[in-house]
Amino acid sequence: MSQFWKDAEELTETFSELFRRMFADPELSSKVEKLDQIVIFKYFDPDVQFWFDLRGGKNEFGTGEPPGEFKVRMTLSADDGHRSWSNKLNPVMAIARKRIKVEGNATGLLKLQPLLRKAAVVYHGVLDDMGQSEKKL
């Protein structure tokens, strides 16, 4: 039972807006696109899978099946996804504590951890604008 999400639709809308704003941010998008690969965040409870196609500077994202073979997939609860984008969950420690399951080489992704601080600011703005300010951690 999710602590933060009503249903998959709410999560999809909220995270989609976050990702749209992150890709619109020159600093965040330029660093993310260096990954040059397909990355997946598979959330459960509620279940939503986001893919990010960062190949060749595409910087596209969507839900469901990715448009190619992924290089890394992280599986975590939707609540931990909320904590992570709020910069309240250290991904490295979460992997060590088995809260995040990793398939593939996560080196590139984990190197972006310092960006979570700025991502959290963007995320808080999204929560405010979408009437979900009570979720802010």
Partner 1 sequence: MALPEELIEFKLRTKIVYRVGSVEELPFELGELGAKRPVIFTDRGVIEAGILDYVKKALKESDVEIAGVFDKVRQDALVSVINEAARFIKEVEGDSIVAVGGGSVMDTAKGANVLVTGGEEDIAEHVGAELVGRPMLPHVAIPTTAGTGCEVTWGAIIKNEEEQTKTGFIEWYCVADVALLDPKVTVSLPAALTAATGVDTLTHAIEAYTSPYANPLADAMTLHAIRLVSRWLRRAVEKGDDLEARAYMQFAATVAGVGFFNTMCGAVHACAHALGGMFDVPHGVANSIMLPAVMEYNRDYVDGRYRDVAEAMGVDVRGLSAGEAADAAIAAVRQLISELGLPADLKGYGIREEDLPELAVKAMEDIQMVFNPRPPEEEEIAELFRRLL
Give contact residues for partner 1 (rule: CB under 8 A). 90, 92-93, 95-98, 100-108, 110-111, 113-114
Q: Which is nearer to partner 1, 113 or 133 (CB)?
A: 113
C-alpha distances (whole Å) from 120 to each of 36, 51, 87, 97, 116 are 23, 20, 6, 22, 6
Q: Which is nearer to partner 1, 21 or 55 (CB)?
A: 55
From the CB of 65, what's the least distance to partner 1, in Å? 20
Q: Which helix (H) or strand (E) holds 92?
A: helix 91-96
From the CB of 16, what's the least distance to partner 1, in Å? 26
From the CB of 106, what's the least distance to partner 1, in Å? 7
**In sequence order, what DSSP letters do the residues of 37-66 get, joined into one string?**
SEEEEEEETTTEEEEEE-GGG--EEEESS-
SS3 83: helix
Q: Which is nearer to partner 1, 74 or 126 (CB)?
A: 74
